[in-house]
Amino acid sequence: MKCDKDVVNLMHGYLDDDLTKEDETKLRNHLEDCEACQKHFHELKRSITLLKSVEQVKAPENFTKQVMQNLPTEKKHKKYVRWFKMHPVVTAAAIFFVLMFSGLFTAWEQDSQLTVSKQEDIIIKGDTVIVPEGVTVEGDLVVKNGNLKIEGTVEGDVTLINGKLLKKEESMNGDVLLASAGDINGEFKQVNQIFDWILYHLNNFFKSIFSLGE
């Protein structure tokens, strides 16, 4: 083997852990006999060592804070929803007040009947709508005020209003994982209607308080 590009290529192959056993032996044998290549190889390894010795730098203080300050602001609606989720007690109290004072209890109650957009081949057990195994629902499926369990397949979009998507092996509490449900070939949309409902009425409620105070 001559001292040319080939040897240098082998060196780099070696540094990238990319050599066959034979090539490695070839390189080793050549290096034993050739001082120039030995030097070249040594210089390569040494420059990597030097490079790695460069000191680590740290981000300036307040870096994270600044990033956070410069993020585009969230949509207001999302902020509200998260605030509600983070303050369940306050939220519950607020719901109670709103419902009490605006007499919406009955309105909500009346609107709480379970409805399904399709009937054929679908089982309704208590407040749960089941698409049984082996059944394929053509088109979209809308379930209102009930839970949904998909063991078969839904070809179209699924919209779930004020209900939960149950896992195959069920369990109401805990997170509901879409992945572990049956097949939905369209889009899956969940409308947590009570939040929108409350947001709307809370807004009106406070508005009326403030206008009274004026």
Partner 1 sequence: MDLMIREKIKQVKKGDQAAYEDVVMYYQDKIFQHCYRMLGNAHEAEDIAQEAFIRAYVNIHSYDEKRKFSTWLYRIATNLTIDRIRKRKPDYYLDAEVKGTDGLDMYSQLATNERLPEEEVQGMELQSYIQDEISNLPPKYRSIIMLRYLEEFSLQEISDILDIPLGTVKTRIHRGREALRKKLRHV
Task: Measure the CA–CA gap between 89 and 168, rounded to whole angstroms.
Answer: 31
- Among positions 30-49, residues that touch Zn ion (CB under 5 A) are 34, 37
Name residue 161's beta-bridge partners. Answer: 144, 191
How near is the Cβ of 11 to partner 1 at its closest, in Å? 9
Task: Rank residues 36 and 59 by Cβ distance to Zn ion and give the closer one.
Answer: 36
Task: Rank residues 13 and 152 by Cβ distance to Zn ion and give the closer one.
Answer: 13
Task: Rank residues 67 and 93 by Cβ distance to partner 1 and give the closer one.
Answer: 67
198 burial (CB, 10 Å; 0-12 / 13-18 / 19+) is buried
Q: Does 195 bind partner 1 (CB under 8 A)?
A: no
| Residues 127/144, Cβ–Cβ less than 8 Å | no
Residues counted in the chain = 214
How near is the Cβ of 191 to partner 1 at its closest, in Å? 15
How near is the Cβ of 35 to Zn ion at its closest, in Å? 8
Torsion of CA 191, 103, 85, 143, to 10 degrees: -20
- Find which of Zn ion, partner 1, none residue 34 binds, CB within 5 to 8 Å per kind: Zn ion
- 189's tokens: 């949309």
Q: Does 20 bind partner 1 (CB under 8 A)?
A: no
Task: Measure the CA–CA gap between 157 and 139, rounded to whole angstroms.
Answer: 7
Binding site for Zn ion (CB under 5 A): 3, 34, 37
Binding site for partner 1 (CB under 8 A): 5, 8-9, 12, 15-16, 18, 40, 43-44, 46-48, 50-60, 63-64, 66-68, 70-72, 74-75, 78, 82
